[in-house]
Structure 1
Amino acid sequence: MKKVLFLTGDFTEDYETMVPFQMLQMVGYEVHAVCPDKKKGDTVKTAIHDFEGDQTYTEKPGHNFALNYSFDDVVAEDYDGLVIAGGRAPEYLRLNQRLLEITTHFFETNKPVAAICHGIQILTAANVVKGRKLTAYPAVGPEVTLAGGEFQDIPADGVFVDGNLVTSPAWPGHPGFIREFLKVMGATITL
């Protein structure tokens, strides 16, 4: 059974945590949802972001999401892929040096990585986007460019794949985001 490390944190986007976590479990992966300084059984608060015609997304309280693994027990070499949720969590998660080292491992070993929305802030902080093509929530685009990546400005329901890296601007892109991550993980789904 393949193992996926799932990075999330307080005020992560609700759909960007709940939906990929459950979808990856649905196809049979062992998914470890973790947050620095939290243990298995602890929760993170989520936030629901919506697009309602304002100049940016709106934010409402979401759910409490229970972590199923302890961050301190993570051994990056044990995982086949990495998924990074978006929302506001990445702005503080990217300050954790161990989290950045774990993220870097997946790029150094060319393992599949999927990041959505503001989750790309962890990738820019880990200094792994130089020379890569990727997308993110548009407000993160300047960070991608400053970190040496080539920002792809695509619709919110889109997905962009560059080798082992799968990115999407926001939760409306989940169908393509998960489909393309499963492909880079080597999964095939037959109907």
Structure 2
Amino acid sequence: MKKILFLTGDFTEDYETMVPFQMLEMVGYEVHAVCPDKKKGDSIKTAIHDFEGDQTYTEKPGHNFVLNYSFADVKVEDYAGLVIAGGRAPEYLRLNESLLEMVKHFFSTNKPVAAVCHGIQILTAANVVKGFKLTAYPAVEPEVILAGGDFQRIPADAAFVDKNLVTSPAWPSHPSLIREFLKLMGATVTV
């Protein structure tokens, strides 16, 4: 069974953690959800981001999400792919050097990576987007450009693939994001 590393943290976007995690487990992957300084059985708080006509999204309390693996036990070479959730968590997770080194491993070994919304902030902090075409939540566009990425403006329900990386702007893209990530993982889904 292939393993996937799933990076998330407190005040991650609820859907961007719960939905991809469950989708990947549903199709048979062993998914290790981790957060720096937390261990298996610890919870993170999530936030629900919604679009209600304001200039930016609104934020409401989400669910508690129980981590199923300890960050300190991660050995990146054991994982076939990486998924990074969005929300507010990436703004502080990107300050963790161990986490950034984990992310760099997936790019140096050309393993599949999926990131949604603000999760791309972790990629820019890890300095791995130079030369990639990618997308993110629109407010992250300046960071992508400053990090040397080629920002792609696409609909919120779409995903963009370049080499081993699939990115999307927000949670409405989950079907596209996970479908493209599964292709990068070498999976085939038939109905």
Superposed, which structure 2 residues align to 1:1-191 within 5 Å? 1-191=1-191
1:53 Cα deviation after fit: 1.3
CA distance in 1, matches of 2:190, 2:172: 24
1:155 Cα deviation after fit: 1.3
Match of 2:41, SS state, is coil
**Runs (4+) off by over 6 Å:** none
CA distance in 1, matches of 2:96, 2:17: 19
Ranges in structure 1 where 5+ consecutive residues have no aligned partner: none
CA distance in 1, matches of 2:100, 2:94: 7
CA distance in 2, matches of 1:114, 1:12: 15
Q: How many residues align?
A: 191
CA distance in 2, matches of 1:124, 1:139: 13
Ranges in structure 2 where 5+ consecutive residues have no aligned partner: none
1:35 Cα deviation after fit: 0.0
1:156 Cα deviation after fit: 1.0
TM-score (norm: length of structure 1)? 0.99
1:183 Cα deviation after fit: 0.3
Output the amino acid matched with 1:23.
M
What does the per-residue CA deviation read over 1:135-183, in whole Å, with 9 as the maximum and x for residues that have no partner?
A: 0000000000000000001111111000110000000000100100000
CA distance in 2, matches of 1:74, 1:107: 17
TM-score (norm: length of structure 2)? 0.99
Match of 1:55, SS state, is coil
1:58 Cα deviation after fit: 0.6
Superposition RMSD in Å: 0.4
CA distance in 2, matches of 1:181, 1:163: 11
1:190 Cα deviation after fit: 1.1
